Amino acid sequence: MFDLFARVFGREDASKDVAKERLRLVLVHDRASLSPQVLDDLKTDLLKVISKYLDIDQEGFQVEFSRHDESMALVANIPIKRRRV
């Protein structure tokens, strides 16, 4: 009964809601992340495809995961020297 009153009169969030929210956010990242090796493979493949169309400055080529609270993004920085086609 005490719990019921406590809830009604605005006790802090039930801890299970905190747990759920934290899990939701951590899983967004867990589910999207790649291992460093696989990320390297992805970069290599990406470079191959883009190089068919553009001459790229390989030194400055960067692909990284970017964490946001609600989502995860793959952010690429691809400096272009000139087009190929």
Interface with another protein by CB under 8 A: which residues? 1, 3-4, 7, 14-17, 19-20, 22-24, 26-27, 30-31
User: How many degrees, rounded to 5, is the angle at CA 58 between CA 55 and CA 59?
Assistant: 140
3-state secondary structure of 70: coil
Query: Which residue number, 1 or 49, has a Cβ lying nearer to another protein?
Result: 1
Give buried/exposed letters for 39-53 (b at 16+ CB in 10 A, else e): eeeeeeebeeebeee
What is the smallest separation between the CB atom of 76 and another protein, expressed in angstroms?
Answer: 24
What is the smallest separation between the CB atom of 18 and another protein, expressed in angstroms?
Answer: 9
What is the smallest separation between the CB atom of 14 and another protein, expressed in angstroms?
Answer: 3
